[in-house]
Amino acid sequence: MSQSLPAESPINSAKLGVPGYSPARLLKSAWLVVAVFMLSNAPTPLYIHWKQQFGFSSGTLTLIFACYILALVFTLLVAGQLADRLGRKKVIIPGLIASVLACLCFIGAQSIYALLAARFLTGIAVGVTVTASMAAVVDAGGESRKRQAALVASIAMVGGAGLGPVMSGAIVRFLPHPVFTVFAVELLVQLSAIIIALRLPPVQRIGVSASRPLRLPSIPKKNIFHLLMGCLFFAPGLTATSLMLSLGPVLLSHYSNAGSPVIAGIMACVMFTVAVGTQILCRKLPISKVFYISGTALIVAMLSIIATLHGGGVKMIFIAALASGAAQGLGQLGGLTLLSMNIAADRRAEGNALLNIGAYIPAGLLPVATGYLMDITGMTLSFTLLASTLVTVAVIGLTIATRQRNLG
C-alpha cells in the first residue's frame, strides 16, 4: 500500500530563539559549511603522493577514509542534540577548532598514524558541520524560507566539497611543498570560519534544560518515513562519491594512465560542480522527481564504472564521477528538503544528524570493503560487486518513490 505524505507538516514544537530571515547571516552560516567541506576533500589529490611516500595498500587508503567516517558518525550522535539544546554557535566553534587541529596534523604528518589522526579530527569537524552549521543555515532562512535555506545549505556542502580538491590539485601541480601549502591555505580558511562563527548571534532553545542526559538522536514517529526516504537516496549517492574520492585516483592511474593529482582534483571538482548544478536546476521540482533523477543518475554512475573495468578509459571514469555527483547532490537535496519541511525546528539538527548517520555509515563501510577486496581479488570483481549493490538499492528506491504520490 502506498503512503501519501503532505507537502509540508505543521511545525508546532518548542519555540527557538531564532531571529527571522537574514540574507547576511544566511551567507555567513553557509561559509562555515563551505570551509569545513573544503578541508574534508582537500586530501583527495594527495592520496597517491602519500601512498608512494608511506607505501600503504589500497585497503589502507580506504581505511584512512573510514577513520574520517567513524569520527563523523560518532560526532553525529551527540552534535545535533547539543546544537538543539545549547545553540548552534556553542557547538560550531569547537568543531572548527577540530578542523584547525586537523590542518596542523596534515602539515606535520610523517606517518600513516598522523594521517589517521588528521582524518579523525576532520570527521569531527564535518559531523558538527552537517548538524549544527547546516541547521544554522536553515535557521537563518526563517520559517518562510525553509526550502530555499535547505537548498543553500546543500549547495554549500557540495560546493565546499568540490572547491577543496581542485584547489589542492592545482597546488600539487604548480607549487612546491604541496602538503604544507595545501593545508596552510586550508588553515587560513578554517581560521576565517572561526572569526565568522564568533560573530554569529547566540541561538538557543527556550525553556528546555541543557542538563538533560544525552541520548541517541531521534525524531517523531510521524517523520520516520521522511528520514528513510532521504537515506534511501542520499546514502547510495554519497557512497558513490566516496568511492570516487577514495579509489577514483587508483582507477585513473590503473585504467587510464592518468594518475596525476591534478586530474584527480579536476575529477572531484567536476563531480561536486555537477552536484551543485543539478541542485540549482532541480530546486523547484517536486521532491519525488528529485529522487527519480538521483536514482537514475546512480545507475548511470555504476554502469559507467563497470564499463571502465572493461576498457572504457578515462572518459567512462569521468562519466561515473559526473553521474555520482548528480546522485549525491539530488539525494541530499531531496532528503534535507523533506526533513526541513516536515520536522519541527527544535528537532531539526537531530533530524539532520540521523540523515547523515544513515548516509555516512554505508558510505564509509562499502568503499573500505571494496578497497580490501580489491587487494585480495583485484579491481574488476570488487568494483563490480559494489556497483551491483548500489544499482540494486537504486532500483528499490525508485520503486518506492514511484508509489508515493505526495512527497512534496
Q: Which residue has the cell 603522493?
A: 49
| C-alpha 194 chain-centroid distance | 20
pLDDT above 50 for 284 = yes
Which residue from 107, 145, 178, 183 is spatially nearest to 29, judged by alpha carbons?
145
Q: Which residues contact 60 (CB under 8 A, 6 or more apart)?
A: 112, 371
Give bridge partners of residue 83 from the DSSP assignment: none
Q: Which residue has the cell 579536476?
A: 266
| Residue 380 pLDDT level (bands cut at 50, 70, 90) | confident
**Largest interatomic CA distance in the chain:** 62
| Grid cell listed for 272 | 561536486
Question: Mean pLDDT over residues 253-257, rounded?
Answer: 67
| The length of the chain, given as a count of residues | 408
Q: Can you tell me whether residue 111 is helix, strand or coil?
A: coil
Which residue from 32, 134, 152, 136 is spatially nearest to 87, judged by alpha carbons?
136
Q: How many CA atoms lie within 13 A of 220 on its CB side?
A: 15
Select, from the ranges 48-52, 138-142, 220-224, the one with the highest average predicted confidence (pLDDT).
220-224
Q: Which residues contact 35 (CB under 8 A, 6 or more apart)?
A: 96, 99, 160, 189, 190, 192, 193
pLDDT at 246: 72
Query: Could you give all domains of the chain from N- to C-terminal order, each with its CATH number?
Result: 23-202+221-403 (1.20.1250.20)
Mean pLDDT of the chain: 83
Q: Can you tell me whether residue 220 is helix, strand or coil?
A: coil
Phi, psi of 16 (to 5 degrees): -120, 150
Is 364 in contact with 62 (CB distance < 8 Å)?
no
pLDDT at 189: 97
Encoded amino acid at 392, one letter = T
Angular region, 213: left φ>0, alpha ψ -120 to 50, beta rest = beta
User: pLDDT, tens digit, for every residue of 1-50?
Assistant: 333 333 334 333 344 445 556 788 888 889 999 999 999 989 877 877 78
